[in-house]
């Protein structure tokens, strides 16, 4: 069996689990993540439980491209924002003022949502095949260090998800978390985490 079909089978299996409302562990453009279909409230709530995370801490969502991003936020994406993303030299999550078409559990108390366009092949293909945004939060119990490589993920986390991606397990390149910036109502960009 060649690598290509193994990779495709891995993506298809992960998407199938997410379509049924399941939760997966998978490699992203930054650290290993726990994810689900961003539109599925039940799955999003399960991620909060798995991580022992307070609901007031919103989760990041990954999208494949600018079109998918536009479907998840209210209003137009400001040009300054698109320019910022296109010029960014590393994965950048932007907190937009108002989210839509996603589980309300993903929104912060003020209705804002953190979204990242992922350029990493696995997570990008995941979004494309699902046909929508995929939740991405670091694969760790809240307060513990993020899982930079597959070997960092605790057994507890691996046992609590429904599917663990095969792709990326061998990678030893430790990637850092994304830069996080906030887009204000009047179109300004403020760096929250560099």
* Structure confidence by residue, pLDDT tens digits, 25-72: 999 999 999 999 999 999 999 999 999 987 767 789 999 999 999 999
In sequence order, what are the residues at sequence separation of 6 or more whose Cβ sits closer than 8 angstroms to the Cβ of residue 184?
A: 97, 190
Average pLDDT of the chain? 92
Q: How confident is the model at residue 194 (pLDDT cuts 50, 70, 90)?
A: confident
Structural domains in the chain, CATH included, are 3-193 (3.90.870.10)
As a whole number of angstroms, the distance between CA 13 and CA 9 comes to 6
The whole-number pLDDT of residue 4 equals 80
Q: Which residues of 54-71 are buried (b: 16+ CB within 10 A; e: fewer)?
A: eeeebbbbbbbeeebbee
Edge to edge, the sheet with strand 92-96 lists: 163-164, 24-26, 33-35, 134-138, 60-63, 113-117, 92-96, 179-183, 189-193
Beta bridge partners of 61: 115, 135
- Cβ contact 192:182 at 8 Å: yes
Mean pLDDT confidence for 101-120? 94
C-alpha dist (Å) from residue 143 to 22, 49, 51, 81, 147:
23, 14, 9, 30, 12
Q: Smallest Cα–Cα separation from 61: which of 88, 100, 89?
A: 100
The whole-number pLDDT of residue 185 equals 83
Q: How confident is the model at residue 89 (pLDDT cuts 50, 70, 90)?
A: confident
* Residue 106, token pair as written in the block: 């993903």
Mean pLDDT confidence for 70-94? 91
Q: How confident is the model at residue 2 (pLDDT cuts 50, 70, 90)?
A: low
């Amino acid at each position: 069996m060649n690598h290509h079909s193994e990779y495709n089978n891995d993506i298809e299996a992960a998407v199938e689990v997410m379509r049924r409302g399941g939760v997966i562990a998978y490699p992203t453009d930054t650290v290993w993540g726990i994810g689900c279909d961003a539109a599925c409230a039940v799955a999003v709530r399960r991620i909060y439980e798995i991580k022992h995370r307070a609901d007031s801490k919103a989760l990041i969502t990954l999208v494949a491209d600018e079109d998918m991003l536009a479907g998840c936020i209210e209003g137009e994406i400001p040009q300054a924002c698109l320019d910022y993303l296109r010029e960014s030299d590393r994965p950048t999550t932007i907190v937009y003022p108002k989210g839509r078409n996603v589980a309300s559990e993903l929104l912060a108390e003020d209705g804002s949502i953190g979204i990242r366009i992922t350029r990493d092949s696995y997570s990008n293909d995941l979004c494309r095949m699902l046909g929508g945004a995929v939740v991405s939060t670091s694969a760790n119990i809240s307060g513990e260090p993020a899982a930079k490589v597959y070997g960092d993920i605790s057994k507890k986390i691996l046992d609590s998800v429904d599917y663990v991606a095969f792709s990326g397990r061998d990678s030893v390149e430790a990637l850092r978390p994304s830069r996080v910036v906030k887009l204000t109502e009047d179109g300004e960009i403020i760096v929250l985490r560099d």
